[in-house]
Amino acid sequence: MSTEHQPADRRRVLTAGVLFLVTFVSAIAGVQLYAPVLDDPGYVLGAGADARVVLGILCEVVLIVANLGTALALYPILRRRAEGFALAYVVARIMECVFIAVGMLCVLTVVTLRLRAAALGDQEAVTVSANPLVALRNWTFLLGPGFVAGLGNGVLLGWLLLHSGLVPRPMAIVGIVGGSLVALSGVGVLFGLWTQGSTVSAVATLPEIVWEAFLGVYLTFVALTRRQQRRRAARVTASSPQTSAA
């Protein structure tokens, strides 16, 4: 398939880049704002920090919209290289968002239990009900933003961008390797080889974090800009005499 870039492609990559920056910020903010629910086993019986948690929910709503937006913005470009893989990337983004949405519902349910804890009366039963919801949210985080995002946003997108020429080759390889490490780290957690917040998991996630931050900055400020296209044209012009002489 053709890899020639169209006039509208700059607008598409700019949109994707801005949305990648939004995903980067909203994902980190959401996790931090959820901390009272995730880290405190007695949250459901305490004073709570419901406003903070609900703000975290809003951040993850923004995250879902931005995730889907990145896939939709890039799809018209990526499909020219490999339509099947481009569609697989869109599906991976959708699946990631499904897991995020399920995790959001778990957190909201814990907040609801806390608000009704006094009326329910049985504190032990309330705690027993809340703990599995927190555990489920943690599993959705592992499988969605972890495993599925590693394969989709790392391996698939890295391969597509590598062959489309939208990003430098070394960084596309970082995306492929980083996504693979995140997915393998998730498999390790599933089999009990290490925990989700362990040093191994943190180190395995670093290349993917670098990749996603790079995408946000590069697609927003560099990819397919007039300045970049002039540089490419100059390189082609400079190499043409050498090719003719050969």
Question: Which pLDDT score is estimated for 219?
Answer: 94
> Residue 131, Cβ neighbours under 10 Å: how many?
13
> What's the pTM value of the predicted model, to 2 decimals?
0.88
Lowest mean pLDDT among 6-20, 25-39, 78-92, 229-243: 229-243
pLDDT band at 244 (very low <50, low <70, confident <90, very high): very low
Average pLDDT over residues 17-36: 95
Distances (CA, A) of 188 to 101, 132, 192: 24, 21, 6
- Tell me how far apart the alpha carbons of residues 152 and 167 are, in angstroms, rounded to a whole number: 17
How many alpha carbons lie under 13 Å from residue 81 in its C-beta half-sphere?
A: 22
Q: Are 82 and 48 in contact (CB under 8 A)?
A: no
Question: Which pLDDT score is estimated for 193?
Answer: 95
Alpha helices in the chain (DSSP H): 9-39, 50-78, 83-120, 123-141, 149, 157-164, 169-190, 199-221, 226-245
Chain segment 97-140, per-residue pLDDT in tens: 999 999 999 999 999 888 887 676 777 888 888 999 999 999 99
Chain segment 132-178, per-residue pLDDT in tens: 999 999 999 999 999 999 999 999 999 999 998 899 999 999 999 99
